[in-house]
Structure 1
Amino acid sequence: MANPANEKKLKNRLLVWLGGSIGPYFLRFFYNTNKWDIEGEDYYKDILKSGRSVIIASWHSTLLTAFMGLAKNNYHGLAGNHHPDAEIISRVGKKLGWNIVRGSSTDGGKKAYNEILEILKSQKTVFAITPDGPQGPAKIPKPGAIRAAQKTGAVIVPIAGQSTKHWSFKNWDTFYLSKPFGRISLLFGKPLIFNLEDSFEDCSAQLKSSLDQLEKEVNSRVGLVKDN
């Protein structure tokens, strides 16, 4: 008689293997066959030249566009722990040129957060974070990115991207995956500098406003009228 637990483990291993193996090829095809219109890259590049680290902040719903737009640069990103989806994300990210830190809010979160702080302090680098991830609420910043910026002196650069052709998947937010042969608009916003004495409420409001405005602008540029 089959053991359901063993069957589930086998299924998860198969999904992880398939996702980690073919995922990068699909993403490259979907995104590299689009025409990219990128604006504002100098915002974060100038910060790196000045010797400071950068936190790239994107809403979870459009993280893949930022993820693919910044691939191959040996930058850093975050994936969860002990879950098949997180393992797939980690494997795909590494194959696309990202350094992935593993951790979640329930296990390994503190260790991962401390590792993020050390990376931002010790390296002139970029760390990509979704302020409302991994499980929402949608478009409401959590403390992680803001506190990391305050503690390390890193500068937050908001980013938003959207494609003229995409699939959308509704869960706790509306997650977008670009279709091939479209046009992608990727916008970097003005840098946000948060000091230790700044209140989280004020910083959160600034970050949310910037991300929302960028999202509205890229949606307009690709003809996506409704903001999901």
Structure 2
Amino acid sequence: MIARTSISGRLLPVVLPLLFRSLRITVAFSPDNSSLPEQGALFTFWHGKMITGWLLARKLFPERTVHAVVSLSEDGSLLSDALAALGFSLIRGSSSKKSEKVREDIASILQQDGLVAITPDGPRGPLQQFKYGSLRIASLQRIPLLFASIRYSSTWKLDSWDRFEIPKPFSRVNVILHRIDLPQFGSEDELRHYGTQLSEKLGHE
């Protein structure tokens, strides 16, 4: 297992950019969004679309450091090694492990107008449902949440909780960027209701 993980850790930083460069990606803004945020922002995409999502963040913000939130699981360790090799800064943890430290690190980066990339339904779901923590942070910090809707023309789909998709080389990828400026929530119920509505709106994307 250790040897296999080591080999995968060395291959991913090479294979992922090669696959990404082969994709025919079209990026468009949603009607309520016409530009990329220049200051602090949360860049989000569903867990099952992460192969494109992570490198898309680097493509859209080539001059900025992208801070990636990655879980402490075995798969997360493999991913974190690959992302570090690709030039990402890492925040290790999730909503269930080291959650308070993760929130503090994200808040600190956003206060310095940094860019944080996160899969809001990861690392274990529910599928395409925003975790309340990411919404709460964006609201409290008064920073935009930029959601990337990613659709592939041709993929291999895994039988996993997140319906993980591996785009086939040279396939078309349509990306729509939604900028979401969150309101200030007066109660936890308001936050949860907003999160449910947002998940319903973007869950089919």
Q: Normalising by structure 2, report the TM-score.
A: 0.86
In structure 2, what is the Cα distance between the partners aligned to 1:56 and 1:44? 15
- 1:99 matched to 2:89? The reply is yes
Which residue in 1 is equivalent to 2:70? Answer: 79
Answer 1 or 2: higher relative contact order, Cα 8 Å, separation at least 6.
2
The AA in structure 1 aligned to 2:191 is F
Q: SS of the counterpart of 2:202?
A: helix
Instruction: Spell out, residue by residue over 1:204-227, the C-alpha distance to the aligned partner (whole angstroms, 9 max, x if none).
Output: 0342134235x1xxxxxxxxxxxx
Count of equivalent residues: 198
Asked if the contact 1:65–1:162 (Cα under 8 Å) also holds between the matched residues in 2, the reply is: no
Which residue in 2 is equivalent to 1:124? Answer: 113
| Higher Rg of the two aligned structures | 1
Instruction: Spell out, residue by residue over 1:96-146, the C-alpha distance to the aligned partner (whole angstroms, 9 max, x if none).
Output: 22211001344322212211111111x222212222111011122221110
| Cα distance change of structure 1 residues 125 and 17 upon mapping to structure 2, 3 Å threshold | same
The AA in structure 2 aligned to 1:47 is P
Which runs of structure 2 are paired with 1:5-24 in the superposition (5 Å)? Answer: 11=1, 13-24=2-13
Asked if the contact 1:78–1:103 (Cα under 8 Å) also holds between the matched residues in 2, the reply is: yes
In structure 1, what is the Cα distance between the partners aligned to 2:194 and 2:67? 23
In structure 1, what is the Cα distance between the partners aligned to 2:21 and 2:154? 13
The AA in structure 2 aligned to 1:201 is R
**Structure 2 spans left out of the alignment, 5+ residues:** none
- 1:203 matched to 2:194? The reply is yes
Q: Normalising by structure 1, report the TM-score.
A: 0.78
The alpha-carbon deviation at position 43 of structure 1 amounts to: 4.1
The alpha-carbon deviation at position 59 of structure 1 amounts to: 1.8
Alpha-carbon RMSD: 2.2
In structure 1, what is the Cα distance between the partners aligned to 2:34 and 2:86? 20
Q: 2:51 aligns with which of 64, 68, 72?
A: 64
Q: Between the two proteins, what is the percent identity of the paired residues?
A: 24
Higher percent of residues as helix: 1
- 1:160 matched to 2:178? The reply is no
